Every structure is written in structure tokens, then in C-alpha cells.
């Protein structure tokens, strides 16, 4: 079987998984939301992480206590006081981690930029990924509102021969990604544009000066459904009652 046939087969398998499992509404599914690190007692207001699926090897070390979800790989977390923890791997996350301090002005500027877009539009699709696939997740909590986005395109497109569309994962076969993406629906184009805007603006916040953190830095997690994450009142309850954090 030649390379092109392998890529076509991979595309078909991913497309089938997309049709079976990629939904516009995943409010009942659960993920491990980063709750704290280094003994903190509050949630990060901005989280970007990779949620691993159960098709990976499961051990007692990579399971979050009390849940069946694998521990996520942190990419970026920012707490209300400006503490920023981020991974050296900006796509897959994980150690080594670095720590930096942001000003309240920088955080406010980032959140204000979201207000100038349709980022908080509740009518737009929030998730796009194939069934049982690893995916990147963005969670942003801004006072009275919370936004959750989830996608698999960043992880899949690390393979330079593939492109992720609203139809699934496709081999480029000599085409450019821009060319393939031009045939996608407006809904998907809006979703990707929103995602890229947030990721770009967050990357700009990473300062030149940082502190290296221990390789074995421990995070704690709250095992929440998307519905719970998007309920600011529920998240704030976790702020106040730390016994809920696993």
C-alpha cells in the first residue's frame, strides 16, 4: 500500500469518526478542568490544555483521582492575580513548565479584545472533533460568563500532510491548507477564526522573563461537565468549597 493510499484511508477513518462523534453540543461530557497548582486555592481564569482520551494507556499515575478521564496536558493557565504557568510545548502541552507574572492591565486588555469579537456568542458552535480523539480545550472565565471551546485541528495538523476541515481529517495531496479550507462551511470558518484569534492573543502574553518550574509539578483538577464549566455560578461554588476539588 503506497503512502497516498494510507493517507486516504486515514482520512476516511477520521471522517467516519467525525460523523459518529463530532457534535455541536457536548454539554453532558466531562473533562478535567485545572483547579489549582502549587497549593493555590482558585481556578485559573484562562486555561488551554490537551484532553487525552481513554484510548491511551491508562495507569494509576495518569488518572485524576475519582474520575475516568486522563490527566490533561497543560499548555497555558492564567490565574486572577496574573500568575501564568505555561508549557514549552505550545501544541501538546506537558512538562517542562514555566512560570511568569502578568499585570492586571495585560489580562484586562486580553479580555477586552474578546469583547470586540463575537467570542461570547452562545449561538455559535463550541466544539469540533472526532469521536474518541485527543483534543485541545480553551476555557475562559470572565466574571459573570464562561466560555468553553474544543477542537482537534491543532493536534492533527502537526502532520504536515493533513488538514482538518468540517468534513474530517483529509490528506492535502498537493493542495495548500488555504485551498482546502476555502471549501469549508461558514460555520467552521468562524469557529477556526475564533480559535486562532484566542490562541494568537494568548501567545503574545508570554513574557521574555520566566522561572523554570519543577518537572514533576503537580496540578489538581475538578472533574466537571461542559454544562458545569459554562455555569459560572457552579464554578464559583468550586472557588469557595475546595473539598470539591479532586
Can you give the residue ranges of every domain in the chain?
Answer: 3-244
| pLDDT confidence of residue 141 | 86
Q: Residues 6 or more apart from 153 whose CB is under 8 A from it? A: 128, 164, 192, 195
Contacts for 10 with CB less than 8 Å, ≥ 6 apart: 162, 169, 171
Pairing of strands 46-51, 135-142: antiparallel
C-alpha to C-alpha distance for 52 and 245, rounded to whole angstroms: 20
- Cut 0.85: pTM above it: no
DSSP 3-state assignment of 42?
coil
Measured in degrees and rounded to the nearest 5, phi and psi for residue 54 equal: -70, -5
Q: Which CATH architecture has domain 3-244?
A: 2-Layer Sandwich (3.30)
Tens-digit pLDDT string for the chain (246 aa): 443 333 333 333 344 334 333 444 455 566 667 766 766 777 788 999 888 775 444 444 444 444 444 678 899 999 999 999 999 999 999 888 999 999 999 999 999 999 888 888 888 888 888 877 889 999 998 877 888 899 999 999 999 999 999 999 999 999 999 999 999 999 999 999 999 999 999 999 998 888 888 666 777 777 777 777 776 555 555 544 443 333
| pLDDT given at position 210 | 86
pLDDT of residue 114: 92
Q: What is the pLDDT of residue 178?
A: 94
Whole-angstrom distance, CA of residue 177 vs CA of residue 154:
13
Report d(CA 99, CA 86) in Å as an integer. Answer: 7
What was the pLDDT predicted at 92? 93
CA distance 193 to 202: 14
Per-residue model confidence (pLDDT) at position 51: 84
Amino acid at each position: 500500500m503506497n503512502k497516498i493510499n494510507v493517507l486516504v484511508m486515514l482520512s476516511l477513518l477520521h471522517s467516519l469518526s467525525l460523523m459518529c462523534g463530532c457534535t455541536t453540543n457536548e454539554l453532558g461530557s466531562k473533562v478535567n478542568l485545572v483547579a489549582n497548582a502549587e497549593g493555590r486555592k482558585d481556578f485559573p481564569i484562562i486555561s488551554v490544555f490537551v484532553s487525552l482520551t481513554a484510548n491511551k494507556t491508562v495507569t494509576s499515575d495518569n488518572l485524576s483521582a475519582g474520575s475516568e478521564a486522563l490527566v490533561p496536558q497543560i499548555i497555558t493557565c492564567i490565574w486572577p492575580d496574573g500568575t501564568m504557568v505555561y508549557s514549552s510545548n505550545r501544541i501538546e502541552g506537558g512538562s517542562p513548565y514555566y512560570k511568569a507574572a502578568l499585570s492586571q492591565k495585560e489580562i484586562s486588555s486580553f479580555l477586552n479584545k474578546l469583547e470586540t469579537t463575537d467570542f461570547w456568542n452562545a449561538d455559535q458552535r463550541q466544539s469540533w472533533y472526532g469521536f474518541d480523539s485527543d483534543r485541545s480545550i480553551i476555557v475562559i472565565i470572565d466574571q459573570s460568563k464562561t466560555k468553553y471551546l474544543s477542537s482537534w485541528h491543532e493536534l492533527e495538523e502537526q502532520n504536515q500532510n493533513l488538514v482538518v476541515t468540517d468534513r474530517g481529517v483529509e490528506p492535502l495531496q498537493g493542495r495548500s491548507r488555504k485551498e482546502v479550507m476555502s471549501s469549508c462551511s461558514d460555520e467552521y470558518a468562524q469557529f477556526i477564526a475564533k480559535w486562532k484569534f484566542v490562541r494568537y492573543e494568548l501567545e503574545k502574553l508570554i513574557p521574555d522573563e520566566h522561572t523554570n518550574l519543577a518537572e514533576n509539578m503537580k496540578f489538581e483538577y475538578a472533574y466537571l461537565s461542559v454544562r458545569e464549566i459554562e455555569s459560572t455560578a457552579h464554578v464559583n461554588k468550586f472557588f469557595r468549597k475546595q473539598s470539591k476539588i479532586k
